[in-house]
Amino acid sequence: MRVLMTTWGSRGDVEPLAGLAVALRGFGAEVRVCAPPDEEFAAVLGRAGVPLVPLGPSVRSVVAGPKPPTAEDAFRLARELVAVRFETLTAAAEGCDVVLATGLMPAGARDVAEKLGLPYVLACFHILGLPSRYSRPGRRPGTPSPDDETDYRKLWEQDAQRVNALYGDALNSHRAAIGLPPVENVRDHVLTGRPWLAADPMLCPSEGRTELDVVQTGAWILPDDRPLPADLEAFLAAGEPPVYVGFGSMAAHAPEDIARVAVEAGRAHGRRVLLAHGWAGLAAVDEHEDCHVVGEVNQQALFRRVAAVVHHGGAGTTTTAAMAGVPQVVVPRIADQPYWGGRVAELGIGAAHLDRTPTVDSLSAALATALAPETRVRAETVAGGIRTDGATVAAKLLFEAVGKKVLAVSR
């Protein structure tokens, strides 16, 4: 079986596909992944033994400017991504048996699959974009809903209108060019009535949260056996477990002066601090030996050896920290991140710092919750219930989707 997977988004949209690719290859499938041409993403897929087929602009070129992207930037990017999906995926899908899409509203992926007569699967890593009678839609570029509107049904209708404004003209123009009829509701067309949810059921429960027939597989985790760098091992061995602070691919969205704030908040608790450089460019604030800066590392191994993880609330980082049984402080910035912060607080495995501008005092207060002994106990308990077979579950479902049997043993 040959599987084409595609995404456009942050590392949190790419690494799960690498995890699924490992599971698929274990069952004998061939995998192709079309994703943004960022070097970091190519390296992640390389660990799974899958080459990256470039799709669209690099994410870093879009998000790492001095200011966050504007609404005009979003509309321009939407049109560009639709066009490159039709071009890139049509070529990449040659000889494939199924197309799986995820990431930023992958308009165009289902349409290429439709033209080629291939099964199509939409996967997501959280539930915020799924229409619901129980919650409001997230923010999108375009005409906002009225402040006094409280009817969730109307709010989701307005959300669909915003998606149409972003993608509709471009999508239907390309569909017409290949002989397909127009789509009236782009969002629901992309999502299908049966999307897959690649998130842990304990961290992100789906039952009763949407009207769609969600297939929840569990998170798609890429196994990581890379050793930690020698200098990091030396830092870890030189004292008590530090507080880890990282904001992943948040660049223009990272809190201002967060490195200094985090170091001082950690010191207020007598803790050393480990800063992850990341796209936010976190760096040491002085020459004291109680702070160390790391680049790309094995978080699965590292998180088991820290006192707490302070992060932006991406789905991947939240899941990795939860698996490690380490308390968390989530400082959400955009998109689904407030949701993950809320779940961390609800589960009692850490704190959500919802104020977008942390101070030394406010972050220190959140750390007090995370560093409390009872939070550590709760985090370790929750870790025992996190599913680790999500990628295997999804791989088997893909074989079923194309009517092929899964091999009994991996090879």
pLDDT at residue 131, rounded to an integer: 95
Laid out side by side, the sheet with 120-124 consists of 52-54, 30-35, 2-6, 98-101, 120-124, 196-197, 215-216
pLDDT at residue 411, rounded to an integer: 27
The tally of CA atoms less than 13 A away on the side-chain side of residue 117 is: 1
Domains of the chain: 2-221+388-401 (3.40.50.2000), 230-383 (3.40.50.2000)
Q: Which helix (H) or strand (E) holds 367?
A: helix 360-371
pLDDT at residue 296, rounded to an integer: 93
Query: Helix, strand or coil for residue 297?
Result: coil
Rounded distance, CA 261 to CA 282, Å?
11
Q: What does the pLDDT profile of the chain (411 residues) look like in tens digits?
A: 999 999 999 999 999 999 999 999 999 999 999 999 999 999 999 999 999 999 999 999 988 777 778 889 999 999 999 999 999 999 999 999 999 999 999 999 999 999 999 999 999 999 989 999 888 898 899 999 998 999 999 999 999 999 999 999 999 999 999 999 999 999 999 999 999 999 999 999 998 789 899 999 999 999 999 999 999 999 999 999 999 999 887 655 677 789 999 999 999 999 999 999 988 889 999 999 999 999 999 999 999 999 999 999 999 999 999 999 999 999 998 889 999 999 999 999 999 998 888 999 999 999 999 999 999 999 999 999 999 999 999 999 999 988 876 543 332
Rounded distance, CA 203 to CA 210, Å?
16
What are the backbone dihedrals phi and psi of residue 227, each rounded to the nearest 5 degrees, phi first? Answer: -70, 155
pLDDT at residue 255, rounded to an integer: 78
Q: What is the DSSP string of 189-242?
A: HHH-SS-EE-S-TTTS--TTT-SS--EE---------PPPPHHHHHHHHTSSPP
**What are residue 245's DSSP bridge partners?**
275, 310
What are the backbone dihedrals phi and psi of residue 292, each rounded to the nearest 5 degrees, phi first? Answer: -135, 145
Q: How many CB atoms lie within 10 A of CB 253?
A: 19
